[in-house]
Structure 1
C-alpha cells in the first residue's frame, strides 16, 4: 500500500474515539462505533493531513469502493475527524464510501426504486424495522458468502456468535450486529434508596438476586412510605418494552427455520401481567419524562442511556446509578432491550466483499482494547454550556456498568423478529401489536394479560402467516 498508510495498531493509537453507548438512537451519525469530533473552522491553506486525505481518496481501490444509501453520511463533514471504522477501512483496506442521500421516511422505497432500475447500491442502514420486512421486497442479500472478509475466524466475533445465530433466517444471515448501544436501563438514586432503607439494586444485580419480585417489593415500599401531601410512583418511562425484553422470550420466535406466533408464551405472560399489576397498583407514572425525576417522587426511570447524561446534570445531589431491568425469578440470565448496530448488504451488489470488510472494520473499532482509555475519557468528560454549566455528564462507574450491560456474555441483547415485520406489528407512529403491548398495558387498558393476549394473538398469527407464504 502507499507509503503513508498506517498500520491498524497505529490507527488505534492515534484515533480519538467517543463512545456511542450514551447516544440518542435517533442521532444517525452515532450508529457507528463512535461519533466524530468537530474541530474549529479554519481558513488556512490545506494541511499535510488534508492533502494526504485527498490523495488517499484518489488512490482508493475500485473493488473496495462502496455505495452507501442512507439518510446520514458515514464520511465526516468538513473539519470533523473520521470515525475509527472508516479510518481503518480507508487506510488499511484502501476503501472508500460514496454517499447517496435519501430521507429517513423514504429510504426503503428509494432502495427498491434504485434496485429495480439497476442502479448501484451496496450498503444500507439496519434499524429495528428493516428486517425481516425488507426481505418481502427482496431488498437485501445474505452475508454468509463473505465470512472470510468479515473475519469470522479471527476471534473478534467470538462473543457474538449466539447473537449472530439469533438473526439467522431462511437462507442465511442478513444482519450481523457489530455492537450494541443505548440499552434501556433503570436509573435510580442511591441516596433515595438508602433513605428508604432499601437494598441497592446494582448490588443485588451483581449478586444475581435482582429480579421481578425484589423490584415490585421496592416500588410498593416506596409508595407506602409516601409523605402526606405527596404522590409517589415506582417507575416511569419505557416499562413495557423493558419488561417484555426481560422475559428472555419473544412474541415472534424462530422454530425450525420458520417464524412462529409466541405471544401466548408463559414467560411473556408473567412479564406482561407484572406490567399490568404495576399499572393497577398506581406504581406507574405515564407522563413522559426525558430525564430522571428531579422531585424525588419516582423511584425508577426506565429509558435508553441517551437520557443518562442530562439526568446526572439535573440531579447532581442524588448519586444516580443504573441497573438492567430485573430478570424473572426463575431465570439465571439478564436480558435487555437495546439498539443493535449493523449494516445490510443490498441485493445484487457486486461489492459484497467490500461491505463485509467495512462491517469488520466497525467490529474492530468497537472491540479493540487500545481504544478503551480514549473512549472512557471522552465519554466521562462533562459537556458544558457556553456559560460553563454542566449539561451532561457520565460517571466512570456508570460508564463501566454500561460496558457490562452491552456485553452479550453478561446481559443478553434480546431480538424479536416482530419489531421488523411491518406496521401491523410495530412502528414509531404508535401502531401495531408490539407498540400496544408497550403502551396499552401500562396505561391500564386491560384488566388481565389473558384479555390482552386474546385481543392480539390473531393479528400476530396473521403477520406470521404472511411471512410463511
Structure 2
C-alpha cells in the first residue's frame, strides 16, 4: 500500500519512462491511469490490467418476488444511482413479514460510494503541487449521510458473508464483493438467476467513476536491466491487450462459470475495466503507516486512518452509538493534516534533489 507516493519519494523505485511509451499502441489504453502515478512529470507505474474491487450481485428471483425493478435495466438506462439503490433496499426491508428478517446490503461498498462523486479522501493538488485532504468536501457529506442512513435504518448486514449464495439465503438483497465471491466455487448453481451491477452512481454526476484493483509493475531503483525489464512489462501487458488472449480468457471463464450470463460478464469484466468508467485512485492509501498501512494500525478495528474513515459511518462505538461524519472528521483531521504535512515536506525535498 505504501508504494506510491511514499516509497517513490523515498527513492525505492525509479521512473519507467525510458522503457514504457504511454503513447504507443500497447500502452495508450492505460495512459490515463498511469498519469495518476507521476512525480515530477515522470511515470512510476506500468498498469497491466484492472480487476473490479467490488460489484453488486443480486438474485433476480428475490427482486421479482419483491416487485422491484431489475437493477441491470436501470443501469442500462443510466438510472442506477444512489437514490434507486437506497429506495430499492428500503422497499425490500420494509416489505418483510412479521417473523422475517430482511437486509438491503452486505459486503464491501462504502469507499466506492464516496468515490462515485469523483473525489478521494486525499488528492494531489496540481496548483499547490502537494497532497491535500478532501475531508471537508460537501460531496462527502452527502455520501456519508446516505451510508449512515443505510446502517441506521437497518438495511445493512454488518457481519462477514463469504459468498453471494449465502447472502441471498439470509434475505440480503444486494451482495457487494469482488467477483471472486460469486465465481468459481461460489458461482451460481443450475437454476440460479443472478444479476450483476456496478456500484450505483452519484445522482449529481453524469460521469461514472470507479476505483479499481490494478495489477501493475514498478521498477526498483538501481536496476540497469532496461531491456529485460522492458521485455518483461510488454509480455505481461500483451496478454490483456490482444483480442486473441482476451477471447481465450473469456472462454475459460464461461467453462468455469456456466450460469453467469453475458450481461453479468460485461458489467464485471468489460464495463468496469474499459473506458466506460473513469478510474480514480486515492493516494491516501500510500501516504504513511498511520494513514495507509492496516498492518501497522493499533486501533480497535486494526484499520489505518484512510480505510477506516471510508467505512466508519456504518459502525458503532462501544456504547452502540453510530459514528457521524462530523465526529470522524473532528477526530482524525489533525492526524490527516500532520501526516500530509510530513509527506509534502519529503515530496518537496525529493523535487529539489531531482531537479
Q: Under TM normalisation by the shorter chain, which class is it?
A: 0.7 to 0.9
Match of 2:106 among 226, 236, 239: 236
2:142 aligned with 1:270, yes or no? yes
- 1:420 corresponds in structure 2 to 286
Which whole-Å CA distance do the structure 2 matches of 1:140 and 1:393 have between them?
Answer: 44
What is the DSSP-based 3-state SS (H/G/I as helix, E as strand, rest coil) of the residue aligned with 1:366?
A: coil
Give the Å deviation of 1:316.
4.6
- Checking the alignment, whether the CA contact within 8 Å between 1:335 and 1:412 is kept in structure 2 is yes
- Checking the alignment, whether the CA contact within 8 Å between 1:142 and 1:171 is kept in structure 2 is no
Q: TM-score, normalised by structure 2?
A: 0.86
- Checking the alignment, whether the CA contact within 8 Å between 2:122 and 2:134 is kept in structure 1 is yes
Indicate how the Cα distance of structure 1 residues 195 and 310 shifts in structure 2: closer, same or farther if over 3 A, else same.
Answer: farther
Match of 1:454 among 322, 330, 347: 330
Instruction: Give the alignment of 1:215-294 within 5 angstroms.
Output: 215-256=85-126, 257-292=129-164, 293-294=167-168
Match of 2:67 among 197, 215, 218: 197
Give the Å deviation of 1:310.
5.2
- 2:219 corresponds in structure 1 to 345
Which whole-Å CA distance do the structure 1 matches of 2:237 and 2:85 have between them?
Answer: 35
- 2:210 corresponds in structure 1 to 336
- 2:250 corresponds in structure 1 to 376
Give the Å deviation of 1:447.
4.3
Indicate how the Cα distance of structure 1 residues 449 and 134 shifts in structure 2: closer, same or farther if over 3 A, else same.
Answer: same
Give the Å deviation of 1:365.
1.1
What is the DSSP-based 3-state SS (H/G/I as helix, E as strand, rest coil) of the residue aligned with 1:145?
A: coil
Which whole-Å CA distance do the structure 2 matches of 1:202 and 1:212 have between them?
Answer: 14
- Checking the alignment, whether the CA contact within 8 Å between 1:185 and 1:305 is kept in structure 2 is yes
- Checking the alignment, whether the CA contact within 8 Å between 1:183 and 1:338 is kept in structure 2 is yes
What is the DSSP-based 3-state SS (H/G/I as helix, E as strand, rest coil) of the residue aligned with 1:441?
A: helix
- 1:321 corresponds in structure 2 to 195
Which whole-Å CA distance do the structure 2 matches of 1:295 and 1:315 have between them?
Answer: 14
- Checking the alignment, whether the CA contact within 8 Å between 2:55 and 2:268 is kept in structure 1 is no
- Checking the alignment, whether the CA contact within 8 Å between 1:151 and 1:360 is kept in structure 2 is no
Describe the superposition over 1:8-44 as per-residue Cα deviations: whole angstroms up to 9, x where unpaired.
xxxxxxxxxxxxxxxxxxxxxxxxxxxxxxxxxxxxx
- 1:188 corresponds in structure 2 to 58
Instruction: Give the alignment of 1:82-93 within 5 angstroms.
Output: none
Give the Å deviation of 1:448.
2.6
Give the Å deviation of 1:259.
0.9
What is the DSSP-based 3-state SS (H/G/I as helix, E as strand, rest coil) of the residue aligned with 1:367?
A: coil
- Checking the alignment, whether the CA contact within 8 Å between 1:244 and 1:268 is kept in structure 2 is yes
Ranked by relative contact order (alpha carbons within 8 Å, sequence separation 6 or more), the top structure is 2
Match of 2:29 among 159, 164, 172: 159
Indicate how the Cα distance of structure 1 residues 182 and 444 shifts in structure 2: closer, same or farther if over 3 A, else same.
Answer: same
Instruction: Give the alignment of 1:21-60 within 5 angstroms.
Output: none
- Checking the alignment, whether the CA contact within 8 Å between 1:219 and 1:233 is kept in structure 2 is yes
Describe the superposition over 1:336-380 as per-residue Cα deviations: whole angstroms up to 9, x where unpaired.
232111111011110234323322222221110112321111111
Indicate how the Cα distance of structure 1 residues 274 and 316 shifts in structure 2: closer, same or farther if over 3 A, else same.
Answer: farther
- Checking the alignment, whether the CA contact within 8 Å between 1:246 and 1:328 is kept in structure 2 is yes
Q: TM-score, normalised by structure 1?
A: 0.66
Which whole-Å CA distance do the structure 1 matches of 2:287 and 2:169 have between them?
Answer: 40
- For structure 1, the 5+ residue unaligned runs are 1-127, 384-391
2:4 aligned with 1:131, yes or no? yes
Match of 1:142 among 5, 11, 15: 15
Which whole-Å CA distance do the structure 2 matches of 1:437 and 1:305 have between them?
Answer: 24
Which whole-Å CA distance do the structure 2 matches of 1:400 and 1:447 have between them?
Answer: 37
- Checking the alignment, whether the CA contact within 8 Å between 2:48 and 2:240 is kept in structure 1 is yes
Instruction: Decide which moves more: 394-403 or 133-142.
Output: 394-403
Instruction: Give the alignment of 1:297-312 within 5 angstroms.
Output: 297-309=171-183
- Checking the alignment, whether the CA contact within 8 Å between 2:198 and 2:267 is kept in structure 1 is no
Which whole-Å CA distance do the structure 2 matches of 1:422 and 1:155 have between them?
Answer: 35
- 2:349 corresponds in structure 1 to none
Which whole-Å CA distance do the structure 1 matches of 2:110 and 2:187 have between them?
Answer: 26
